[in-house]
């Protein structure tokens, strides 16, 4: 048996499905350091030894969104690394919009694997971390051997005659029906970071609860809203009661991170959507060849506009292990229901043996 196979076998002999829930005491074993990757300094959280797993967070989050997964996967026999991605937390934050295109973002993760002196990795991504994960898998299948996507399903973007870049298409659609897509709103600093930076805690509370499965019906996140509604929701009042999965301590952590970093870096990812579309034509109709797991919450608003990608996921990902919709949960699936997400990921990893 090769060294690589011995490592994998050892992971499964630990009874990994039983490691799906981790105590706060285990989370204290997470360590932190800085690594140089792709021309920037990345801050990473890590724990465990064994085959490498990279966890890629979304907006507006940091490594902390994986606080329930890091110890569970480490206990199962993996070396788990969750970076603050470019523009977030304690990682470098270039000012230029073009510094956040998909080639920079995937380059950061590929460089991170190299900085860790590893040759292969499993990659897991949520929200914006999902495109980083699937583009990394498409571009470097020699490195990324398996893939888990949370919330955002993979689909090649429409191209060919008559196709236009996504933000341009969303603007046209919004003008036709008097609404505005949230990604269009995010192109405008005056209506985004200039507001969010004034009161990060209020924005984070509103965003986290509004897109979750616990949002009241009248304040659920809708990707399409009138421009006036969109402005009001960026300044919505803090709710009197937090859901069970989101504590005051969690909000304290996120707030401190964004008070220090601001929101510009994360929002610049959205400002490269059309650039990414224009410059990835060489991936037209590309299929993901790696074993893949997809998980989302039943009430995740992303499924409202990526429903076709979800329905056709087997077509675009021939080695899809399964796609799972967790009832009653929303967008922040690995935080809202960490026990079930951990169980599904660990079960998938067990299949990889």
**Token couple for 60:** 């507006």
Task: HSE, CB side, 13 Å, CA atoms: give it for residue 128.
Answer: 28
Do 43 and 81 touch, CB atoms closer than 8 A? no
Catalytic residue check, 84: no
Nearest residue to 253 via CA among 290, 212, 208: 208
One of 92, 108, 127, 214 is an active-site residue; which one? 127
Spatial CA neighbour of 82 closest among 27, 39, 10: 27
Q: Are 187 and 334 in contact (CB under 8 A)?
A: no
Angle, in degrees to the nearest 10, between helices 102-115 and 129-139:
70
- The Cα–Cα gap between 214 and 134 comes to 29
Q: List the catalytic residues.
A: 127, 331
């Amino acid at each position: 048996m090769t060294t690589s196979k011995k490592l994998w076998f050892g992971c499964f002999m630990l009874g990994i499905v039983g490691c799906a829930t981790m105590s706060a005491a285990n989370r204290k074993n997470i360590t932190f350091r800085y690594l140089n990757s792709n021309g920037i300094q990345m801050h990473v959280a890590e724990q465990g030894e064994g085959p490498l797993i990279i966890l890629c967070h979304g907006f507006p989050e940091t490594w902390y969104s994986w606080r329930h997964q890091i110890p569970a996967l480490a206990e199962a026999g993996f070396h788990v690394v969750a970076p603050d991605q470019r523009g977030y937390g304690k990682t470098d934050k270039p000012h230029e919009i073009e510094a956040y295109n998909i080639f920079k973002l995937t380059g950061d993760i590929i460089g991170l694997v190299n900085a860790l002196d590893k040759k292969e990795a499993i990659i897991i991504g949520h929200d914006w971390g999902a495109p980083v994960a699937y583009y990394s898998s498409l571009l470097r299948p020699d490195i990324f051997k398996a893939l888990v996507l949370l919330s955002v399903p993979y689909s090649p973007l429409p191209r060919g005659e008559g196709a236009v870049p996504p933000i341009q298409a969303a603007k046209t659609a919004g003008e036709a029906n008097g609404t505005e897509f949230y990604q269009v709103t995010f192109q405008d600093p005056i209506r985004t970071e200039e507001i969010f930076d004034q009161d990060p805690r209020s924005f984070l509370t509103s965003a986290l609860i509004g897109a979750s499965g616990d949002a009241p019906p009248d304040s659920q996140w809708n990707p399409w809203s009138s421009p006036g509604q969109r402005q009001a929701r960026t300044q919505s009042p803090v709710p009197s009661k937090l859901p069970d999965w989101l504590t005051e301590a969690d909000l304290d952590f996120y707030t401190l991170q964004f008070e220090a970093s601001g929101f510009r870096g994360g929002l610049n990812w959205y400002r490269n959507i059309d650039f990414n579309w224009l410059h990835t034509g060489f991936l037209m109709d590309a299929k993901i060849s790696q074993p893949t797991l997809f998980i989302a919450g039943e009430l995740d608003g992303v499924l409202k506009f990526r429903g076709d990608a979800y329905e056709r996921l087997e077509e675009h990902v021939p080695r899809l292990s399964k796609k799972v919709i967790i009832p009653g949960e929303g967008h922040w699936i690995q935080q809202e229901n960490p026990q079930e997400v951990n169980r599904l990921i660990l079960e998938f990893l067990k299949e990889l043996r």
